[in-house]
Structure 1
Amino acid sequence: HAGALSAYVGRLAQAGNVGIAFANTPPALAPGPLLGTNPIAFGAPAEPYPVIVDTALSQVSRGKIIVAAKKGEPLPPGWAVDREGQPTTDAQAALEGALLPIGGGKGYALAVMVEILAGVLAGAVISSELQPPWGPPEAAARPGLLLLGMDPSAFGKGYKERMAYLVRALEAVGGRIPGWRRALLRERALREGIVIGNGLLQELVGLGVLPQV
């Protein structure tokens, strides 16, 4: 699929624009093999960091299920169903089954909305026409991506002041600002590096991303 949508809206936000992104993915969402996890993302300029929202419309991204399967770790209840449609906490069974949408029927409706925007409106394929990511490259179809950028100044004056007021109001009641924790972690990683497990290290070496150590 299109990858982490925060990368798209984040660049727009850093350039002073508001960004909204919608993408479809290979089918993985219950109740059947039709809709993907269909992520959405939003970015808006703010100080000291942009506000960034990036979320799949499933209870959890498929990537986290894959990590749990590799580690042999159980899943929390309510994340997925097996191929028979029964609730499961087994990560491998979840990969063979389907992920549950956030918010039940509301999440399903949002996934349909994204399918229309990123697949139908954008003139791309719909999720059910996409091959799974582990399929042969020659059979892959391009997923849909709809990216919108807006210049806040086109809506009038006062954006920076009103955004700063909103951020202060959220912080005053103990609210977290979406995207700021990620920005802080990125700064720390740039200073100190990234700690990864030996299994991932060997995968990266095998792919030629990192030299043999």
Structure 2
Amino acid sequence: MTFDSTALQSWAARLLVSWGYSDDDAAYIADTLVDANLRGVDSHGVIRLPAYHARIDAGLVVPTARPVVTREGGVIRVDAAGAPGQLAARAAVAALVEASGELGVASAVIHGSTHFGTAGYYARALAAQGKIGIVVSNSEPAVVPFGGRDAFLGTNPFAFAAPTGGDPISLDMATSTSAMGRVMVAQAAGKPIPADWGVDAEGRPTTDPQAVKALLPAGGPKGYGLAYLTEVLGGVLSGAAIASGIGNMYSDFSRPQDVGHWMLALDVERFLPFGQFTQRMDGLAADAHAIAPAPGNSQVLVPGEPEERTKAARLSAGIDLPAATIEELTLLGVASEVPFPEGDIR
């Protein structure tokens, strides 16, 4: 079934308010989730709401909690202090915009956090303020190290964004071949997955999403190395939990997750006049577009363009959700007395 994005976001916000979030906080969290759906990253969209609710019920996330921000020059530390990852990341972005505007460069670490949606959401928020933004996060073990068979590091996303004369150039990637959320989407849809996404309990590649016990690093040792760097920045440097010390979002309700994030903001104006920078960025994109496409491809795109095109299409045609996700969200709405919206069958 297909759902209008505005209706889906409005419902998610009302649902979050019923859980104890303020109107503003609920709207922000809902936006992070539906934005992921709009951009085709359904693994980080409204499918996450049941897990968010379960952690509130367990007392591990407090809707009324406020992140604690401390700053020394261009160094920012954020303690999520029981708040969800989205609100901790929002506080970090606001502090980074101010600090980088004053100093040219600023960096933030966040500890005590949870799943915060897509890393790219915050990198693009920095780009919208005239910054080059880099955002990384660690997460619970889900990926085998290169040469290993048991999960060691998380999918550990890496994102960056930079302003242009139009939509920002942006990259948001897991350092694994796939995000675990995409496996969850395949599970919900009852569809097979590519053989290079994950391994079963014996460490063998599998196309059965139900059999996946761990994911594979993207590009073998290269993805493993990037994931390790992300763990150093997001986990070790921030003071958050590391690797197996991170609580599992879906199965461990005995402790907070204590996820860590790291962000960097570069104020473009401190390095180059903003108009000159965006002109050069637009020229770089034009050069990429001018390259003849390889067989089977219609055009060379730049990072972020596929997601922007998906967003435009889904804003017009709606967001498709699998039946299993609709059923789960419908039950969640009934339990919270916030009925799930009706969709169109297409």
Q: When the two structures are superposed, what TM-score results if normalisation uses the length of structure 2?
A: 0.57
Given that 1:29 and 1:37 are in contact with CA atoms closer than 8 Å, whether structure 2 keeps it comes out as yes
**Is 1:21 paired with 2:135?**
yes
**1:114 is aligned to 2:230:** yes
- Kept in 2: contact 1:127–1:143 (CA 8 A): no
Asked whether 1:151 is paired with 2:271, we answer: no
Over aligned residues, Cα RMSD in angstroms?
1.8
Letter in 2 for 1:63: G
Contact 1:38–1:115 at 8 Å: present in 2 too? yes
Tell me, yes or no, if the aligned pair for 1:17 and 1:149 is still in contact at 8 Å: yes
SS of 2:259's partner is coil
Match of 1:100 among 204, 208, 216: 216
Match of 2:307 among 157, 173, 182: 182
CA, structure 1 residues 109+182, in 2 after alignment: closer, same or farther (shift >3 Å)?
Answer: same
Deviation, structure 1 residue 184: 3.1
Unaligned runs of 5+ in 2: 1-114, 292-298
Moved more, 109-118 or 70-79: 70-79
Contact conserved, 1:60 with 1:79, CA < 8 A, in 2?
A: yes
Cα offset for 1:47? 2.6
Partners of 1:163 and 1:183 lie apart in 2 by 17
Residue 186 (structure 2) aligned to one of 68, 88, 95? 68
1:128 maps to a residue whose letter is: S
Shift of 1:167: 1.0
- CA drift of 1:55 comes to 0.5
Q: Which has the larger displacement, 120-129 or 107-116?
A: 120-129
**2:225 & 2:341 partners in 1: Cα distance?**
47
Superposed displacement of residue 210, structure 1: 4.4
1:93/1:124 CA distance change after superposition, 3 Å = same
Q: Identical aligned pairs, as a percentage?
A: 37
Which amino acid in structure 2 is aligned with residue 107 of structure 1? G
Distance 1:204-1:39 versus aligned 2 partners, 3 A rule: same
Matched, 1:160 2:312: no
Which residue in 1 is equivalent to 2:81? Answer: none
Q: Can you list the C-alpha shifts for 1:53-96, whole angstroms capped at 9, x where unaligned?
A: 000011111011112122332221222111111222211111xx
Name the counterpart of 1:198. 323
Partner of residue 199, structure 2: 81
**Separation in 2, partners of 1:138, 1:80:** 27
SS of aligned partner of 1:11: helix
SS in 2 for 1:139: coil
Distance 1:123 1:21 in 2: 16
Alpha-carbon distance change, 145 to 75 in structure 1, aligned in 2, over 3 angstroms: same
Note the residue ranges of structure 1 that are not aligned, 5 or more in a row: none
> What are the Cα deviations for residues 153-175 of structure 1, in whole angstroms up to 9, with x where unaligned?
11123312211110110111142
In the aligned structure 1, how far is the partner of 2:287 from the partner of 2:316? 31
CA distance, structure 2, for counterparts of residue 26 and residue 128 of structure 1? 7
Letter in 1 for 2:340: P
Partner-residue secondary structure (3-state), 1:177: coil
| TM-score of the aligned structures, taking structure 1 as reference length | 0.91
SS of the residue aligned with 1:144? strand
Whether 1:207 aligns to 2:299 is no
Alpha-carbon deviations, 1:11-51, whole Å to 9, x = none?
11112211001100100011333211100000110132111
> Which 10-residue stretch deviates more, 119-128 or 180-189?
180-189
TM-superposed CA distance for 1:138, in Å, is 4.8
Farther-moved stretch of structure 1 (105-114 vs 194-203): 194-203
Q: Tell me if structure 2 keeps the 8 A contact 1:24–1:118.
A: yes
User: How many angstroms apart in 2 are the aligned matches of 1:195 and 1:2?
Assistant: 22
Relative to structure 1, is the Cα distance of residues 13 and 136 closer, same or farther in structure 2, using a 3 angstrom cutoff? Answer: same
In structure 2, relative to structure 1, the CA distance for the partners of 1:189 and 1:88 (3 Å cut) is closer
